[in-house]
Amino acid sequence: MSKIACKIRNLEKSFGPNKVLRSIDLDLFPGEVTVLMGANGAGKSTLVKILCGVHQSDNGTINLFGKLFKPRRPAEAFQAGVVTVHQAINDGVVPDLSVASNLMLDKLTNNKAGFFIAEGVIRSEAKKIADTMGLSLDVSLPVSELGVADRQLIAIARAMARNPKVLILDEPTSSLSAKEADRLFQVLDRLRNTDVAILYISHRMSDIREIADKIICMRDGSISGTFSTKPLDYEGAVTAMLGHKMTEVDVKIAKKGEEILNLSNLALSDQSPRINLSVSKNEVVAITGLLGSGKTKLASILFGVRKQAHGTIHLNGQPFSPSSPREAIKAGVYMSPKDRASNAVISDFDIEKNLTLPFLHSYSWLSMLRFKLLRKLAKDKIEDMGVICQSEGDEIETLSGGNQQKVVVGRWLMQSCNLLVLDEPFQGVDIKARRDIGDYIRQTAGSRATIVLVAELDEALEIADRILVMNEKSLVGEHVNDNVNVNEILVDIAGNNQLLEQVSK
Amino acid sequence: MSNNFSIRNLSIKYGFLVLLLVLIIFFSIFASGFAGPRSAVFIFQSVAITGILALGVTCTLVVDGFDLSIGSVATSSLMMSAYMLVILEQNAFVAVVACLLMGAFVGLLNGLLIVKMKVPDLLATLGMMFLLIGLQRVPTEGRSIATGMRLPSGEVADGIFPGSFLWIGRHRFDFFLENLIPVPVIIFLVVAVLVWIFLELTRHGRLMYAIGSNERAASLAGANVNLYKILAYVISGVTASIGGILLSARLGRGDIASGNNLLLDSVAAALIGFAVLGAAKPNALGTAIGALFVGILLQGLTMMNAPYYTQDFVKGGVLVIALVFTFALTSRSRKGGH
């Protein structure tokens, strides 16, 4: 394999003042599966978007088999042989059309195709494509009647029908079960022999162990590690992806109060392992783990957004099973969700209205809002959290990401509670804002139990008394944050699936 | 740069009100008889019913919904009040309460279709609109209702529109001048103030705006999204039935052909309201001013002898200009703000 399929040199990209990609060098070889790992905001998706023609690079070159490749539109990328299967499966298939039509869609949209559709020809050609992919199903069925795995495979089959030189798969297993993922891997094994260079983006260590020929890690817009000698160093890869410059923040472990939250034998979904957890007053517990390890599922169960499959939750010794966020809030369980833009920020509102949203009932009299009180509370909170703005009446959209995050986290600190769950409270936030938020959470932690869910280990080390590691929906490690051995945590995060599988068998 | 900015911001905020002022001055000078209390009251009267409906639809727009059924709720309320009075020979109070309940029930049904059955708002209320247009014709086999009409059974309907009912639509209060302000104008102003208080000063209004801006975030902040959505449609149904009662009391008969324009006119008023004070979102004050704006323009043009068939054209023009104000200018200024 001496010939390089895709050679990227010195690729750079900025959005405004943010440097998203810094001098990326990357080689993809035919017949090889290269896994690209990186935390949120590391620059993976920008890299993929440049390769598939959605964004244009500012600097640097891409060569495809020695030819310069600079797509300005997705269509140009297709023609040059770079095909991407995106994460949202339905982007890759038309649910109402039959499998055959889906597989032949590109032939149908071709201008050279005839006016009428020869159903028989399409079906037989589609059958051929399906067979080469090892898909045994009735091609006349509409895609909407298939399972997720089959849809994903059809999206890949569609991509393969374009004869790609480089195939990019963006988290293809994110909605597949382990069994379904196995089928995908069989197909990928077959593709390896067809000399396609595959760039595979994933966070699931089980996937990566299964199929990676090479692992490339990205962190903060540059390549932080390349692993190609077998056996691959998975822990090294996780370390390179998450990084762990020992932080300067020194956490003084607080004295635990009485137990607030108790999870016993909790299963996040039907087949997943049981979780046992106890969190006490005046304690900040960080749960860390890769994307998709189940952290957000846990948060949404605690906040009444979804139900656990098995097991019980006790809050202050009482059984607790909220059926909506409203009920959870009434019981004194607050949750600051991740992805602030879609889950937290009310973009039409100013800072004051955003801060005071959850507790309007206690700031009103006979339903009439008490405006003076609202303004005073908002001003106080803005000062406490160090939100940088001109006044509490500034539109939230005019704030920087870090300050927006302070506002949406701050809204849950307006009133005291029993349990505060913070899902990725430092997402898309600069280091200064991260320290501000972290300090404030620790300052106020005395009156409640606090659970912080973070993918970045640094963040966990900065804020927690105790760090738990979640892997494949189960809690696999517990570390008190006092001279903690970071390598042990990283091993837990990367997980040792062979071991786990043996246990579950 | 900052200068340019403030001019744009000023024009977004006050541009529409300035335009309104210019119109009033223009008509006062060039249309004789335009400036005066009687003319002003006439304008208010002409937009009262549309305005009341528009305030209801504003509530549904606030939760990012839409109510297409308001026009047909109003005409159903018109027919229902006439049926109650003329054929069932009930008194005015019973007729009014029945119509209000009908409006609330239709709103509830709309809300349940949208929230529980997950039918998209436009489609649910479109369906309801069709249903009501058909339903209101069934009891009288498609005929208008008036005292002395012959019923399908052959009997003659003896009921009448009592004075107390007609009072709602026709009475005028003395206000400096004798017989100046009609009851519908008062009701319009009261509904406007109530809706304004509800949307701007209560926590319920605040939560409804939050739901309209980001439903998911509002729900994760503990708002009862479904309840507020249903409430918005109930408000819309009730205000529409009030409009129908006023129309019925003004006409004094159950006219099957009335109220054809109500839906479009009131939706236009609510959308024009987006442009008032640069709100760029549904709001009660804007809706009331939007309704008045259309009324003033039509009144002035009519006094200057513009033919009646140009009216819809003029309304459409105003709407398009208002929408440009709202969306083009405000979105540009938001981008500039970053």
DSSP string covering A152-207, please? HHHHHHHHHTT--SEEEEESTTTT--HHHHHHHHHHHHHHHTTT-EEEEE---HHH
Residue B61 sits at the chain A interface (C-beta within 8 Å): no
Tell me the pLDDT band of B338, cut-offs 50, 70 and 90.
very low
Tell me the pLDDT band of A110, cut-offs 50, 70 and 90.
low
* Subunit contact B203:A364, Cβ cutoff 8 A: yes
Amino acid letter, A244: H
Residue A356 included in any domain: no
Domain count, chain A: 2
Residue of chain B with shortest Cα separation from A411: B221
Residue A477 sits at the chain B interface (C-beta within 8 Å): no
Does the structure show a pLDDT above 70 at B295?
yes
- Nearest-Cα distance to chain A for B194, in Å, is 12
* Subunit contact B214:A326, Cβ cutoff 8 A: no
Q: Do A85 and A213 fall into the same domain?
A: yes
pLDDT at A293: 82
pLDDT at A503: 41
Region A234-240: what's the mean pLDDT? 80
What is the share, in percent, of chain A residues with pLDDT greater than 90? 33
- Nearest-Cα distance to chain A for B50, in Å, is 28
Tell me the pLDDT band of B214, cut-offs 50, 70 and 90.
very high
Residue of chain A with shortest Cα separation from B214: A346
Residue B332 sits at the chain A interface (C-beta within 8 Å): no
Report residue A338 as tokens: 């991740």
Residue of chain A with shortest Cα separation from B202: A368
Q: Do A225 and A282 fall into the same domain?
A: no
Judging contacts by C-beta atoms under 8 Å, the chain A residues touching residue B201 are 368-369
Residue A118 included in any domain: yes
pLDDT at B3: 47
Residue A246 sits at the chain B interface (C-beta within 8 Å): no
Residues 117-176 of B with CB under 8 A from A: none
Q: Report pLDDT digits (tens) over B249-287.
A: 999 999 988 888 899 999 999 999 998 888 889 999 999
By CB atoms closer than 10 A (0-12, 13-18, 19+), residue A487 is: exposed
* Distance of alpha carbon B209 from alpha carbon A356, whole angstroms: 14
* Distance of alpha carbon A159 from alpha carbon B197, whole angstroms: 56
* Subunit contact A343:B202, Cβ cutoff 8 A: no
**Count of CB pairs separated by less than 8 Å, A with B:** 72
The terminus-to-terminus CA distance of chain B in angstroms comes to 14
Q: Report pLDDT digits (tens) over A439-481.
A: 999 999 999 999 999 988 888 888 999 999 998 888 988 998 8
User: Do residues B274 and B281 lie in contact, with contact meaning Cβ atoms separated by under 8 Å?
Assistant: yes
* A268 three-state secondary structure: coil
Judging contacts by C-beta atoms under 8 Å, the chain A residues touching residue B64 are none
Strand partners, A395: A350
* B158 three-state secondary structure: coil
Show the DSSP H helices in chain B as ranges: 2-30, 37-62, 70-82, 92-115, 121-135, 163-170, 183-201, 203-213, 215-220, 225-251, 262-272, 284-303, 311-324, 330-337
Residue A398 included in any domain: no
Sign of CA dihedral A363, A365, A367, A372: negative
* Subunit contact A353:B213, Cβ cutoff 8 A: no
Q: Pick from B202, B212, B224: which is nearest to A369 by CB?
A: B202
Residue of chain B with shortest Cα separation from A354: B210
pLDDT at A319: 95
Tell me the pLDDT band of A271, cut-offs 50, 70 and 90.
confident
* Distance of alpha carbon B222 from alpha carbon A421, whole angstroms: 15
Which of the 8 DSSP states describes residue A245?
P
Q: Which residue has the tokens 């159950």?
A: B254
Judging contacts by C-beta atoms under 8 Å, the chain B residues touching residue A421 are none
Q: Do A145 and A39 fall into the same domain?
A: yes
Q: Do A449 and A319 fall into the same domain?
A: yes
Q: Do A42 and A108 fall into the same domain?
A: yes
Q: Pick from A326, A358, A398: which is nearest to B224 by CB?
A: A326
Q: Report pLDDT digits (tens) over A294-316.
A: 899 999 999 999 999 999 999 99
The terminus-to-terminus CA distance of chain A in angstroms comes to 39
* Distance of alpha carbon B128 from alpha carbon B110, whole angstroms: 7
Q: Do A38 and A116 fall into the same domain?
A: yes
Q: Report pLDDT digits (tens) over A77-104.
A: 888 888 888 776 666 677 788 888 877 7
Judging contacts by C-beta atoms under 8 Å, the chain B residues touching residue A349 are 209-210, 213
* Subunit contact B204:A335, Cβ cutoff 8 A: no
Judging contacts by C-beta atoms under 8 Å, the chain B residues touching residue A368 are 201-202
Residue of A367, A373, A399, A400 to mutate when probing chain B, most B C-beta within 10 A: A367
pLDDT at B284: 96
Sign of CA dihedral A238, A240, A242, A246: positive
> In sequence order, what DSSP letters do the residues of A246-262 get, joined into one string?
PPS--PPPPPP-SEEEE
Tell me the pLDDT band of B336, cut-offs 50, 70 and 90.
very low
Which of A242, A274, A291 finishes a domain? A242
Instruction: Give chain B's mean pLDDT.
Output: 90
Q: Do A235 and A313 fall into the same domain?
A: no
Residue A214 sits at the chain B interface (C-beta within 8 Å): no
Amino acid letter, A326: R
* Subunit contact B203:A361, Cβ cutoff 8 A: yes
Judging contacts by C-beta atoms under 8 Å, the chain A residues touching residue B213 are 346-349
pLDDT at B13: 82
* Candidate from A60-74, A272-286, B71-85, B94-108 with smallest mean pLDDT: A60-74
Residue A343 sits at the chain B interface (C-beta within 8 Å): yes
Q: Which of B301, B330, B335 is nearest to B315 (CA)?
A: B301
- Nearest-Cα distance to chain A for B184, in Å, is 27
Strand partners, A14: A19
Show the DSSP H helices in A250-390 as ranges: 295-302, 325-330, 340-343, 351-356, 371-385
Region B220-247: what's the mean pLDDT? 97
Residue A338 sits at the chain B interface (C-beta within 8 Å): no
* Distance of alpha carbon B166 from alpha carbon B183, whole angstroms: 10
Which of A189, A213, A242 finishes a domain? A242
Q: Report pLDDT digits (tens) over A168-221.
A: 988 877 767 677 778 788 888 888 888 889 999 887 777 788 888 899 988 878
Residue of B193, B201, B206 to mutate when probing chain A, most A C-beta within 10 A: B206
Query: How far is CA A370 from each of CA A356, A360, A366, A375, A377, rounded to the nearest angstrom?
Result: 11, 9, 10, 9, 11
Q: Do A157 and A289 fall into the same domain?
A: no
* Subunit contact A349:B222, Cβ cutoff 8 A: no
* Distance of alpha carbon A260 from alpha carbon A239, whole angstroms: 33
Residue of chain B with shortest Cα separation from A400: B338
pLDDT at A222: 85
Q: Do A228 and A271 fall into the same domain?
A: no
Q: Report pLDDT digits (tens) over B229-239.
A: 999 999 999 99
* Subunit contact B218:A325, Cβ cutoff 8 A: no
Q: Angle A338-A342-A346 (CA atoms, 0-180°, nearest 5)?
A: 110
* Distance of alpha carbon B221 from alpha carbon B218, whole angstroms: 5
Strand partners, A18: A15
Residue A399 included in any domain: no
* Subunit contact A346:B219, Cβ cutoff 8 A: no
Q: Pick from B217, B222, B224: which is nearest to A346 by CB?
A: B217
Residue spans per domain, chain B = 13-331
Q: Pick from A343, A358, A368: which is nearest to B216 by CB?
A: A343
Q: Do A289 and A220 fall into the same domain?
A: no
Give per-residue burial for A200-236: e unless 16+ CB within 10 Å, then b: bbbbbbbbbbbbbbbbbbbbebbbbbbbeeeebbbbe
Residue B331 sits at the chain A interface (C-beta within 8 Å): no
* Subunit contact A348:B213, Cβ cutoff 8 A: yes
pLDDT at A111: 65
Judging contacts by C-beta atoms under 8 Å, the chain B residues touching residue A325 are 219-222
Residue A389 included in any domain: no
Q: Do A195 and A263 fall into the same domain?
A: no
Task: Determine the structural domain holding residue A431 and report its residue range.
Answer: 259-344+417-504
E strand or H helix that includes residue A28: strand A18-28
Does the structure show a pLDDT above 80 at B167?
yes
Q: Do A127 and A224 fall into the same domain?
A: yes
* Distance of alpha carbon B150 from alpha carbon B143, whole angstroms: 10
CATH assignment, B13-331 = 1.10.3470
Q: Which of A342, A335, A363 is nearest to A453 (CA)?
A: A335
* A293 three-state secondary structure: coil
pLDDT at B224: 96
Q: Report pLDDT digits (tens) over B15-32.
A: 888 989 999 999 999 988
Residues 248-267 of A with CB under 8 A from B: none
- What is the CATH number for A10? 3.40.50.300
* Subunit contact A329:B201, Cβ cutoff 8 A: no
Residue B219 sits at the chain A interface (C-beta within 8 Å): yes
Residues 274-303 of B with CB under 8 A from A: 281
User: Do residues A29 and A5 lie in contact, with contact meaning Cβ atoms separated by under 8 Å?
Assistant: yes
Residue of chain A with shortest Cα separation from B279: A348
Instruction: Give chain A's mean pLDDT.
Output: 84
What is the spatial order of strands in the sheet that A310-315 belongs to? A274-280, A259-267, A310-315, A318-319
- Nearest-Cα distance to chain B for A343, in Å, is 4
> Which residues are CB-neighbours of A18 under 8 A, at least 6 positions away?
none
* Distance of alpha carbon B280 from alpha carbon B331, whole angstroms: 9
pLDDT at A260: 95
Report residue B202 as tokens: 């209560």
Q: Pick from B212, B221, B281: which is nearest to A357 by CB?
A: B221
Residue B209 sits at the chain A interface (C-beta within 8 Å): yes
Residue A397 sits at the chain B interface (C-beta within 8 Å): yes
Q: Pick from B201, B220, B337: which is nearest to A398 by CB?
A: B337
Q: Using CA atoms in the order A372, A374, A376, A377, what is the torsion angle rounded to 10 degrees?
A: 160
pLDDT at A22: 87
Does the structure show a pLDDT above 70 at A1?
no
* Distance of alpha carbon B288 from alpha carbon B316, whole angstroms: 17
